[in-house]
Structure 1
Amino acid sequence: MIGLLCLDLGTSSAKTALFDLEGRRLAGASAPYPTLSTSDGGVEQEPEDWIRAARTVIARSTPPGVDIEALCLTGQMQDLILEGDHGAARPAIIYSDQRAAREAREIREDLAHKSIDWDAHCGNRQDATSCAAMFRRLARTDPDAIDRTRALTFGPAGHLAHRLGAGAWCDPTTASALGLLDAAARAWSPDVVRAAGIDPGLLPTLTSGPGQVVGSTNADARELIGLDAGVPIVLAPGDAGTATIGVTGLDTDRDHVSLGTSGWIAGIHRHEEGPDTTGGSPDGPSQHEASHHLALGDGQLRISAVLSAGAAAAWAREAFLRGMGSFIADQRLEHRAHEHGRGPTGLLFVPALAGERYPVRDDGMRAALMGLDARMDAVDLYAGVLEGVAFALSHALKDTSSRMETGAQKSVDTTAPMTVVGGGAASAPWRRILADVFDRPIHLPRGAGASSEAEAQLEATLIGAAIAGAEAVRLDHRITPLAEREGEVLFPDSSAAAAYAELRPAHRALYDAAARIGTMGR
């Protein structure tokens, strides 16, 4: 039997899945690794911990009698790994590290002297988490490690491929998040590379397509991760890309929604449409058509991410429903809908409990709840919070529809079901709210809502890595994304959808007031 071994080296653990060419999951495992956080905002991991975890999960996922056709790698993006002669030259700096704020300002100023807007040039908002800024900081604080560096990689997947003898590679999805890529040219930016102080010879080669065979496992593979030499290595897109492929495949203009701790609308769109990364004034929030623009195949992955989705629902259950579990809370929502029918609660909630990324980007913004009525009870408040998350996400759909209607591209089919994944997808009342707010049918793939948020995301990411790997190796396969699988579809109620549509502009306007409130006391 032929199998594709998919490995996701994520933020906190390594996960594997072994798929056959019919898309059946034959085996899988996970193993954690630690993260070191420091008081000055540092976040680091030891690459050797990634290797040990990979070896553990691969041993649990390779039953006898299965020929591994390819090792398909994906994982967390926007990390800085300095590759030395024998492994990493120092611990990896992880994407959430905040220590390079000074260096980010310096790079921005250096580029401004050349009339280059760093955000627009790279296609995404840049800050202390940019790998360009991280490297410039290391050049100042740890020059010995820079001297020991022979190549750079930007995620655990790239590091493992390098350790297995494939050389230094980076997929374009990951590269788009680094602050080093010229978004228009889809190539490393000489100007940013120079401003960061990086020797261009250290930069990895960019892959092409949604996945590429970058080499084969070397003679060290058996000791490193327990695989024989000669297994093709496919570098799939970073986890944001593979998760999208795992939900909707490689089709363009087919958005999906995720309801995890955070939430997002994501989809692959045609690359001809340039990203809008214009920001507001330095004193106020900046508005974006999406919070992230990432290269993916021949298209562009647009992600409109709301920082608090499931986190907002969990907060509301604790604050309003005395810590009630989600299952009982859903029963209360079903009873409310039976009494009042479908439609708006009358509340407008901005779910910015800890800053926001979309529809505005403002780390200082805080949540707002408007429209309280003395007749409302705790379940009304909880329903209003779920509506607020749905409204926040719906602004991305409105932006997408407007772009497609005014451009020459194919129009988004607003009658097609939109697939939902993540832990929050298990809530039927919340899915009905999404259907009415989006005015779109909502599709829950079978089994996707029954698992935890982490398991649902894991499934999509590993399925996406399998699809990317099978395509890269040119296998005849029947591995299908979640959107093409059977499941439950909830349809919008026309009167409820119309009522929500009338409220959407007011919800969007509430962000301006919430932003001003968020500045108080700073």
Structure 2
Amino acid sequence: MPSVLCLDLGTSAAKAALIDLDGSIHGRASCPYPTRTTADGGAEQDPQDWLRSARTAITELLHVPGATRDVLALSLTGQMQDLVLLDPDGAIAPAVLYSDTRAGQDAQEIHARLESEGISWDSLTATVQDATSCAAMFRRLVRTDPDLAGRARGMVFGPAGYLAHALGCGRWCDPTTAAATGLLEARTGTFSGVIARAASLDEDLLPALTTATGQVVGRTDTAAQDLLGVPGGVPIVLAPGDAGATTLGIVGLEVGDDYAYLGTSGWLAAVIPRTAVDDGGADVTRADVTLADRSAATAEQAPVSHHLALAAGDDLVLRISALLAAGAAADWARAALLGGASPAEADARLEEREARQGRGPTGLLALPSIHGERYPVRDGDLRAALVGMGPRTRDIDMYAAVLEGVAHALVSAISAPSRSDRSTGERSRPLAVAGGGTASAPWLRILADVTGREVRAVDGADAALVGCALAAADELGMDHSIRPLAFRSGGRTVAPDPSAARAHAVMRDAHRALYTAVAAVRALH
């Protein structure tokens, strides 16, 4: 069976897989690379490490007899929102990662400069802009290392773009990654000259934008064979950045497609029409304004989400509503409330509690914001809270309330039922759920009851690679049966309990109001 060679250059490692046109994964390999962090918030990686790790993973994968003969395309994705400065020979400095926070001053100055011209940076990009914006990162380099900034003859915004450049394809960026840089105008889907000027960035340095969910940007040659061990003549496809590729690999990219992630952090990702952003404004709140600083009316505005383009000229947007703590909040609660119980021990106690009391709300309200919060408010000073304890409240009740709190935060991002099959009249499919939290059957039941939707656990470990394969196969017009993971058989499915779902629905407004109340109390300290 012919295969697509898929490469995901993530935050910590290069992951490669051969995915057959029937959707089966023929092989996997990975190779890590280091991150250099600094006390002042810096986070950098060496682009040469990306290349070395990519070669190691691909070489291991292609050692399978006959594998090289069947490679139909090389499809690339990876971490987004990294600043990589280039000259004709390659990177001229370490890549500044999306997690680098050293450009706070520069982000504020870009905000101020644009506001002096009557422009909201957040509204123009439909995403909150802060120190992690590539525009702010570049402005910091202009301020702190003008010689380095002046030597740049181009830039890309992640390892997938860098690898494409190293393979001789030129400078490219997919729209999903571009939307994360702080330089893309949401309404036009093009890089913004006014933002570039505010960042002291020459527009000629910006890469070209791909126009499809996956686009052929070149073909491998003898240099590619030397660099990666990939045979010559293979199409090179730039797939969406990791957020888009993961969504494509889990549920697809049609309006209404959504999934939840329960890892250390958590999020609800949904494909929505661009008009939902245009009509409702930017759906963002400035990152440097805490909830306690706002009036009550302002505090109740639309939740803070990120909006990422999916393809140039497309009417679809990927909305990501991200919690700072999901599994991290559960870990904290087990340590603080259950005496350091393991996840399995905590689940056993939840099962016992449910057997005694049935499914339904604990009656407590909990915020999971142990590290501050990004959604449904953006407030770095917010902290977790538990409200409503009484004489019968026990430790396991409080632990269950924390899991409910994560679910209530995620349900704020579900604006409409998931897409149904209009041709057959079938009801909406389950909410796919990925991440380590899916190992907890009680948490899945809580999520089903709070959302009022059937939920289905999905192993998302290979999601970005599956998304890569889909993007390449569709772009090249291949006859294939690769399917998103949510459409495949297997995985635990949990239906909501109707009575519990109704009871949780009554609590949604109270849970949302708790963010305002806790922020106001903290402001009095």
Instruction: Name the TM-score, length of structure 2 as normaliser.
Output: 0.92
Name the Cα RMSD after superposition: 2.0
Unaligned runs of 5+ in 1: 449-455
Q: CA deviation at 1:261?
A: 0.8
Asked whether 1:352 is paired with 2:372, we answer no
Contact preservation (8 Å) 1:438, 1:497:
yes
1:252 alignment partner, one of 245, 251, 255: 255
Cα deviation, residue 218, structure 1: 3.3
Instruction: Give the Cα–Cα distance (whole angstroms) in 1 for the partners of residues 71 and 152 of structure 2.
Output: 32
Counterpart amino acid of 1:420?
V
Shift, 1:414, TM fit: 7.5
Is the contact made by 1:253 and 1:269 (CA closer than 8 Å) also made in structure 2? Answer: yes
* Partner-residue secondary structure (3-state), 2:178: helix
- Cα distance in structure 2, aligned partners of 1:468 and 1:184: 24
Q: CA offsets, 1:359-382, max 9 Å, x none? A: 111111111111112222221111
Q: For the Cα contact (< 8 Å) 2:128–2:286, is it kept in 1?
A: no
Question: Relative to 1, partners in 2 of residues 1:202 and 1:218: Cα closer, same or farther, differing over 3 Å?
Answer: farther
- Pairwise CA distance, 1:462: 1.1
Determine the C-alpha separation between the residues in 1 that align with 2:427 and 2:352: 29
Instruction: Give 2:431's match in structure 1, choosing from 391, 413, 418.
Output: 418
Partner of 2:130: 127
Residue 355 of structure 2 is matched in structure 1 by 338
Q: Which residue does the alignment assign to 2:305?
A: 291
Write the distance in 2 (CA, Å) between the matches of 1:223 and 1:519.
59
Check if 1:238 corresponds to 2:241: yes
Match of 1:53 in 2: 53
Q: 1:289 to 1:510 in 2, by over 3 A?
A: closer
Q: After alignment, is 277-286 or 124-133 more displaced?
A: 277-286
Following superposition, the deviation at residue 290 of structure 1 comes to: 4.6
Letter in 1 for 2:440: S
1:95 aligns with one of 93, 98, 109: 98
Q: Which amino acid aligns with 2:208?
A: T
* Cα distance in 2, alignment partners of residues 140 and 471 from structure 1: 44
The letter for the 1-side match of 2:401 is G
Equivalent in the alignment of 1:514: 518
- SS of equivalent residue, structure 1 residue 44: strand
Deviations 1:457-514 (A, max 9, x none): x311111111111111211111111111123321111111111111111100000022
Question: Is contact 1:37-1:44 (8 Å) kept?
Answer: yes
Question: Cα–Cα, structure 1 residues 283 and 132, in superposed 2: closer, same or farther, change >3 Å?
Answer: closer
Of 317-326 and 498-507, more deviation after overlay is shown by 317-326
Aligned to 2:295: none
1:156 aligns with 2:144: no
Q: How does 1:105-504 map to 2 (within 5 A)?
A: 105-273=108-276, 274=278, 275-279=281-285, 283-285=289-291, 287-297=301-311, 298=314, 299-397=316-414, 399-400=415-416, 415-445=428-458, 448=459, 456=460, 458-487=461-490, 488-504=492-508
The residue type equivalent to 1:305 in the other structure is A
Cα deviation for residue 416 of structure 1 reads 2.9
Shift of 1:52: 0.8
Shift in alpha-carbon separation, 1:366–1:266, aligned structure 2, 3 A: same
Change (3 A) 1:389 1:21: same
The residue identity in structure 2 corresponding to 1:295 is A
Work out the CA distance in 1 between the residues paired with 2:321 and 2:284. 15
Contact kept, 8 Å, 1:437 with 1:501, in 2: the verdict is yes
Post-superposition shift, 1:40? 1.3
Q: 1:211 touches 1:237 (CA, 8 Å); kept in 2?
A: yes
2:446 counterpart letter in structure 1: I
Distance of 2:402 and 2:328 partners within structure 1: 11
Q: Helix, strand or coil for the counterpart of 1:264?
A: strand
SS in 2 for 1:229: coil
Moved more, 117-126 or 289-298: 289-298
TM-superposition CA deviations, 1:114-160 (whole Å, max 9, x none): 11110000110111111111111111222222233221100000000
State the identity as a percent: 53
Q: Secondary structure at the match of 1:359?
A: coil
1:520 and 1:59 mapped to 2: Cα distance? 59
Structure 1 position 278, deviation (Å): 4.5
Amino acid at match of 2:449: D
